[in-house]
Amino acid sequence: MIDLFSGLDAWVLVSLLLALAFVLTFEFINGFHDTANAVATVIYTKAMPPHLAVFFSGIFNFLGVLLGGVGVAYAIVHLLPVELLINVNTGHGLAMVFSLLAAAIAWNLGTWYFGIPASSSHTLIGSILGVGLANALINDIPLADGVNWQKVMDIGASLVVSPMAGFLIAALVLLALKWWRPLSKMHKTPEQRRKIDDKKHPPFWNRLVLVISAMAVSFVHGSNDGQKGIGLIMLVLIGIVPAQFVLDVNSTTYQIERTRDATLHLSQFYQRNEATLGEFLALGKAQQGDLPAQFSCNPKQTEPTIDALQSTLQGVADYHSLPAEKRIEVRRYLLCLDDTARKVAKLPGLDVREKADLDKLRKDLTATTEYAPFWVILAVALALGIGTMVGWKRVVLTIGEKIGKQGMTYAQGMSAQIVTAGAIGMANILSLPVSTTHILSSGVAGTMVANKSGLQGGTVRTILLAWVLTLPASMSLAAGLFWLASKMFV
């Protein structure tokens, strides 16, 4: 790892270390900001002692990051338009990274300080959107091209739908439990359990389910939110030291051949569907010399891009053998081919089987660009895991007592946690970032309504206000900081 940073100018090295520290700080804050969401019910119901719950939550967050993959990480990265990702230089990289991280950290700390269950996911996404839109304004780019709006809509839908689903499904799970065991002790609050049964802890089976579901929430939270940190670090590395990280230099000869074969098969795919795609891709009309110096992803340059990539990778068995500028070129070609293939998949006229083939080719194209070194994954896992073990008290009380007009029952805790773990697990499979905070808070609110406990208007309004304000606030803050940073670094 150390040799990757050798030969850097002192100011670049210092900037890189500061940027990495910012990302790990964000993940550390994310850990103690979101910990309460994973352990609130298990602590409030006294299923586990607080410090033991937080410790094991940290362990499972750590494991979630290690085993979670990078699908969500690159969903976050690709909120930015592909042109910004392929033409980034050190100055733009510094401005982009420091502004979005500073905005995300500031908002996270503020909401944590006031005990508001705000979403780190919303904060990070808002910050990235703010940077993308500010970059468009500064460089006279249409706002329609300032961010990847299709990815924004996909992620936005997941962020909106998931809390609604959490509310409804948690309510239904609780109603099912009440129908199945209406007189069970699981429908008591911890206070009622202490007064009526003179017991401190939940019944054994309820306690077991609460503990297991809490650890499941911690694991999927680590997987989903940890990947956001991985994506941020890869933005840092690609933005500040692109020569070393634009491609996975540890790719095997087989992986490189697979990438090269994917471009050949992509060309054959387009030729096979020339009647449908010929005009969109300008098949047979563009020449390799048409590629501009300031590279852009124009579908009509697809054929020369494929030719240029095939030529560059010809005979290459190890990315180390490519000069740094050639590795940067290869990444540009691959990202643009993937971007064009994504647009082609949405065109009318292609049948379902052809679209499925195109999706497989896209995965092969990005196999050596969408990656993360193990040390990056480990660093994020440690930051999130350690952060999980501190700062949890402020939000636990909000989740346990201030959403409903009466305390949470064991059954409510189980319902909310099981639904939260399932929803985030499904989001991980689909490579979509979601908010643990909002899913769990909504799940608790749904169980309160189903239990006819009522909701505390003040707390619900505060959570909703944070939900509504987080995106515009983080976007505005990040955009302003990016404007200032661009004057300093660019």
Whether 244 contacts 89, CB under 8 Å: no
Q: How far is CA 83 from CA 113, 335, 441, in A?
A: 38, 9, 37
Mean per-residue pLDDT, 277-298: 68
Over residues 202-252, the pLDDT tens digits come to 999 999 999 999 999 999 988 988 888 898 898 888 877 887 888 998 899
Alpha-carbon torsion (448, 463, 150, 66), positive or negative: negative
Q: How far apart (Å, rounded) are the C-alpha atoms in residues 61 and 433? A: 16
Taking all residues of the chain, what is their mean pLDDT, rounded to a whole number?
Answer: 83
Alpha-carbon torsion (149, 154, 155, 160), positive or negative: positive
Nearest to 190 by CA among 45, 50, 397: 45
Higher pLDDT, 266 or 45: 266
The structure tokens 């550390």 sit at 28
Whether 442 contacts 455, CB under 8 Å: no
DSSP string, 337-401: HHHHHHHHHTSTT--HHHHHHHHHHHHHHTTTTS---HHHHHHHHHHHHHHHTSS-HHHHHIIII
What pTM was computed for the model? 0.84
Whether 241 contacts 97, CB under 8 Å: no
Q: How far apart (Å, rounded) are the C-alpha atoms in residues 182 and 75? A: 43
Q: Helix axis angle, 274-281 relative to 324-345, nearest 10°?
A: 130
Alpha-carbon torsion (257, 261, 264, 270), positive or negative: negative
Q: How far apart (Å, rounded) are the C-alpha atoms in residues 205 and 3? A: 53
Q: How far is CA 89 from CA 93, 132, 417, 480, in A?
A: 6, 15, 44, 20
The structure tokens 């064991």 sit at 410
Q: How far apart (Å, rounded) are the C-alpha atoms in residues 479 and 447? A: 38
Mean per-residue pLDDT, 189-213: 89
Whether 126 contacts 77, CB under 8 Å: no
Q: What are the b/e assignments for 157-187, b being 16+ CB within 10 Å?
A: ebbeebbebbbbbbbebbbebbeeeeebbbb
What are 455's two structure tokens?
């909701």
The structure tokens 């680590």 sit at 222
pLDDT of residue 206: 92
Using alpha carbons only, what angle is made at residue 308 by residues 305 and 312, rounded to the nearest 5 degrees? 140
Mean per-residue pLDDT, 105-118: 76
What are 232's two structure tokens?
């941020």
Mean per-residue pLDDT, 268-287: 82
What are 37's two structure tokens?
């969401």
The H or E element that residue 460 is part of is: helix 457-489
Q: What are the b/e assignments for 230-246, b being 16+ CB within 10 Å?
A: bbbbbbbbbbbbbbbbb
Q: Cα–chain-centroid distance for residue 401?
A: 29
What are 172's two structure tokens?
């239904």
Over residues 404-415, the pLDDT tens digits come to 456 788 999 899
Over residues 327-352, the pLDDT tens digits come to 988 998 998 899 899 889 888 878 88
Nearest to 224 by CA among 317, 158, 171: 158
For the beta carbon of residue 326, count every other beta carbon within 10 angstroms.
16
For the beta carbon of residue 131, count every other beta carbon within 10 angstroms.
31
Mean per-residue pLDDT, 39-64: 85
Over residues 151-175, the pLDDT tens digits come to 888 888 888 899 899 999 999 999 9
Q: How far apart (Å, rounded) are the C-alpha atoms in residues 71 and 75? A: 6
pLDDT of residue 38: 74
pLDDT of residue 388: 78
The structure tokens 């839908």 sit at 157
pLDDT of residue 4: 59
Under the banding of pLDDT at 50, 70 and 90, the label for residue 199 is confident
Alpha-carbon torsion (262, 146, 282, 310), positive or negative: negative
Q: Averaging pLDDT over each range in 79-83, 193-197, 238-242, 296-300, which range is the top one? A: 193-197
Q: Is the pLDDT of residue 8 over 60?
A: yes
pLDDT of residue 216: 94
pLDDT of residue 288: 52
